Structure 1
């Protein structure tokens, strides 16, 4: 992996950090794209100390802000001629309705729209790798419980009936649909796959969830798998020669191919989500090649 440049979102904690550590140990050049730049730099230093790999850069990225995503992509493209692997790992969960500065429900914005925009903006660097670049989207088995309610994406239809779990499942379903449509549109130039990492004991449900959810998760977390184990499939999809020609597929926590939900396999729905996403981020895609 020493000749590979890999960008990982949300790489300062949980599965993202574990993924970064393991790929750093293989000699990859890493870019840790994180909302908290101080924590990202601390993580980079810790990974260097642990692995001896000094080729670890940080990139400020707030996926809830299209402006931040555009700035991060511009900075990356100015400094890096190619991108071999993009791991869209970062995620958020919240019990309460929050609206981003761009006017979208937080979980849909961060977990899907932010990564959609980032991927589109980084296509020039991904295309430089001559048909060997990889895009990896960290989804969840919760996508099986998800549906797409386009009227809910801006949060206006939710009100007091907002369900954090429903919104999270919807965002994870969006990850799978995005993966399938990205493969259909760009499968001749790159591979793209998504995965369920397992039920991993991260701080996802502690950061923005309510007191009850956070308490219950804290009690259950010791029985969940550790982040290092949860990184197995991300590392496999990023590094294994076994999947260099595999694209548009969904993998489980054991690196096995699985069939995603029937909704996730709906091509018409995937196209509609893609078109909605393009329109949502259109102002920040201006000037980019199709």
Structure 2
């Protein structure tokens, strides 16, 4: 990974931070794209001290605001001529209905739509050749429980009808569908893959989950995978020569190719989601 530029979203905590550490030790030039600039800089300083790799930059990025995604994209392109690996890692879980700055359900907006726009805007830095750049989308086995409710992506059905777990599954399904369609449209220019990291002991469910969810997760978390183990497949997809030409696929926590759900393999649904997403972010495209 020497001289490779890697952008990781949500790199200040959990799997993202663990991924950053592992790739920093491999000599990558890292860009930590995080909502909190303070936390991002703290992580960058820690990585320099821990790994000895001084090529660590930060990038302010709020995936819940498409204005921020566009601004981050412009800043990155102005400072970096090439992007070798984009790891769309950041994620959020909500127990109650919340909306993004543009009015989309928060989990769909952050976990999918913000990353969709970021990826499209950074394409100029990635389109050097198929064997040059890799896009990695961190999904979840929860995608198997999801469907895409196009009539409720802005929370149209209201708080009473909101199911946080169902919305999370929907957003993770969107990650897989996006991977498939990005490969179909741009597979000659880059590779794109997605993964399930396993059940990892992060703070994901503790931040915006309801009290019961927080309590259950707090009891279960000590028995889950460590973030470092959860980063295994992201690091593998970012760095291994074995997957240099593999694209449009879904990997499990053991770095094995597996089939995603039948819904995730629905080409018509993938195209429809792409078209919806493209229309949603149109005014923020570079």
| TM-score, structure 1 as length reference | 0.97
Say if 1:147 and 1:173, in contact at 8 Å, map to a contact too.
yes
Q: How far 1:129 moved relative to its partner?
A: 5.2
Q: Do 1:84 and 1:129's aligned partners in 2 also have CA atoms closer than 8 Å?
A: no
**CA displacement, residues 176-219 of structure 1 (integer Å, 9 cap, x when unaligned):** 00000000000001000000000000000011112111111011
Matched, 1:28 2:1: no
Check the 8 A contact 2:85/2:133 in 1, yes or no.
Answer: yes
User: Match for residue 49 of structure 1?
Assistant: 49
1:83 and 1:128 in contact (8 A); partners too: no
CA distance in 1, matches of 2:18, 2:235: 9
Match of 1:63 in 2: 63
Paired residue secondary structure (1:6): strand
The whole-number CA distance in structure 2 between the counterparts of 1:157 and 1:191 is: 37
Q: Secondary structure at the match of 2:191?
A: strand
The residue matched to 1:161 in structure 2 has which SS?
Answer: coil
Matched with 1:220 is 220
* Corresponding residue SS for 1:109: helix
1:105-120 paired onto structure 2 within 5 Å: 105-120=105-120
Tell me the equivalent position of 2:171.
Answer: 171
Cα distance in 1 between the residues matched to 2:259 and 2:274 = 21
1:266 is aligned to 266
What is aligned with 1:210? 210
Contiguous gaps of at least 5 residues in structure 1:
none
Secondary structure of residue in 2 paired with 1:171: helix
Correspondence for 1:5:
5
Give, in angstroms, the shift of residue 131 of structure 1. Answer: 3.7
Correspondences of 1:71-220 after superposition (within 5 Å) = 71-128=71-128, 131-220=131-220
Alpha-carbon distance in structure 1 between the residues aligned to 2:128 and 2:72: 19
- Tell me what 2:238 maps to: 238
SS in 1 for 2:176: helix
Q: Does 1:284 align with 2:284?
A: yes
Deviations 1:103-147 (A, max 9, x none): 100000000000000000000001135642000000000000001
Equivalent residue, structure 2, for 1:250? 250
Specify the SS of the correspondent of 1:199.
coil
Unaligned residue ranges in structure 2 (runs of 5+): none
- Name the CA distance, whole Å, in 2 between partners of 1:128 and 1:31: 19
**In structure 2, C-alpha distance between the alignment counterparts of 1:15 and 1:129, rounded to whole Å:** 28
Q: Deviations over 1:208-255 (max 9, x none)?
A: 112111111011000000000000000000000000000000000000
- Aligned counterparts of 2:83 and 2:128: Cα–Cα separation in 1: 7
RMSD of the alignment, in Å? 0.8
Distance in 2 between residues matched to 1:69 and 1:151, nearest whole Å:
24
TM-score, normalised on structure 2?
0.99
The number of aligned residues is 286
Runs of 4+ in 1 over 6 A off after TM superposition: none
Q: Deviations over 1:55-85 (max 9, x none)?
A: 0000000000000000000000000000000
